[in-house]
Amino acid sequence: MTSILLWVKPWQRDGHKIIQWDISIYYTYLPATFIYNDVALQEKWPVDLAEYDLWISRKFEGKELLKMSSGMAYMYAPWFFVAHAITKINMPEMATGYSLPYQIALAFGAVFWATLGLYFLFLFLKRFVSATAAFIVLGLLLFGTNLFFYVFWDGAYSHAALFALVAIFLEMGERFIQKQNMKKALVLGCLAGLLVLIRPVLLIHVFLLGAFYLYRLKGKIKLLHLGIAALAAFVIWLPQFFYWHYISGHWLYYSYGDEGFFWNNPKIIEGLFSWRKGWFVYTPIMLIIFPGFWMLYKKQRQWFWLITPLFVIHLYVIFSWWCWWYGGSYSQRAMIEIYPLLALPIALLIQQILKLKWLFLVVSFSALTVLTAYNMFTTRQYQRSLIHYDAMTKEAYQAIFMQQWWPANYDDLIDPPDYEAAKKGARDL
């Protein structure tokens, strides 16, 4: 994993900052707290935060409120502190929190979390399928989906971290069912708190997963362990409550302003199949989840009745968001956090494929190899901007299909969305 990152080297690409856009908001909690002692962003810093595309949600009597909650700051923290210590000792003039050493540190941190997530997902899958099938699934997820881009290129976004946390949660949940103890309850509580703090809509997922594990324990859960898990989750959230109260005067505050959900008009079909950002258009290998769900129903009925509704709920929630295409992104990045759950039906399907006669086996894995290669090629296209970050159309897709250079009339083929209209409810963009 590290060797791939050193080959990609996102910190050396022209015009690309690792700390920018959403990452800049997630990350600013750390330098604001531990370098500048200015969480309200009231002082003049030696860096221009506008260069890192920092969005400020609202101002309260001179205090500026960061739009996103602080969950990712927990995930960045180990790498931030290491980078800050090394930079302060060796290059004190660069110890600003935003210079190159900090950016490189976040890139390596993303690879660490993704590697840890893949390891725990492997352990989880091995409970249901062979090590061979589990290993193949990890390869398909990493190289055949947009997970690759969000580990090695834009790894500091929340997606690799969420992938890891969900994978760890699944394995730790199984361990807790096998043998309850305070340590596992504490870990599960911290994981639940982090998941929701990074992405508040995952509260639904965490609740359903928790209910699923409680059901399987058949009332044998110890109240002490339940209390420890709840307390751990609350403690994870405590700094966020204090931050909101210090800036806005409210213990709980909706910081996204005029951005919200349109629950009566989810764009599920567009989110899955549109040329602008269709998940199955740009990550077609994930179509295997449908035969996978059938295998899940046949082999693991309990998990089927958890994962299938969660998948449907996830689609409904993320595609009800005002910006259902999720801005500048490759494929549907909001799907990555449920890849660990989808890995189980895929693994059961792979296990079945491995039992086929050699001709069907070769055909099946040839198709998976082609789809994986397609993902790697289109990832490169997106990184080079042949696949536009938010304005793709059918005509643009056809013009750049399997191409390495832009068509002469590329600007005439794309169709940028109207973000302001989308905030007000325009859904057909």
pLDDT per position as a tens digit, 205-235: 999 999 999 899 887 888 899 999 999 999 9
pLDDT band for 55, please (50, 70, 90 cuts). Answer: confident
Residue-wise pLDDT for 317-366, tens only, equals 999 999 999 999 999 999 999 999 999 999 999 999 999 888 888 999 99
Say if residues 40 and 48 touch (Cβ distance below 8 Å).
Answer: no
The predicted pLDDT at position 220 comes to 82
The predicted pLDDT at position 269 comes to 97
Rounded CA separation 371/143 (Å): 10
What is residue 56's three-state secondary structure?
Answer: strand
Alpha helix ranges (H) inside 67-222:
71-90, 100-125, 131-144, 149-152, 158-178, 182-198, 203-217
CB atoms inside a 10 Å sphere around CB 9:
12
Residue 4 pLDDT > 90? no
Q: Mean of the per-residue pLDDT values for the chain?
A: 93
* Section 18-27 average pLDDT: 92
Say if residues 62 and 69 touch (Cβ distance below 8 Å).
Answer: no
Q: Which residue has the tokens 């894995």?
A: 365
Residue 14 pLDDT > 80? no
Residue-wise pLDDT for 406-421, tens only, equals 998 999 999 999 999 9
DSSP 261: B
Q: Which of 36, 33, 19 is nearest to 70 (CA)?
A: 33
Q: What are phi and psi of 321, to 5 degrees?
A: -60, 145
| Length of the chain in terms of residues written | 429
The predicted pLDDT at position 365 comes to 92
The predicted pLDDT at position 17 comes to 83
Say if residues 145 and 378 touch (Cβ distance below 8 Å).
Answer: no
Q: Which residue has the tokens 């910190």?
A: 11
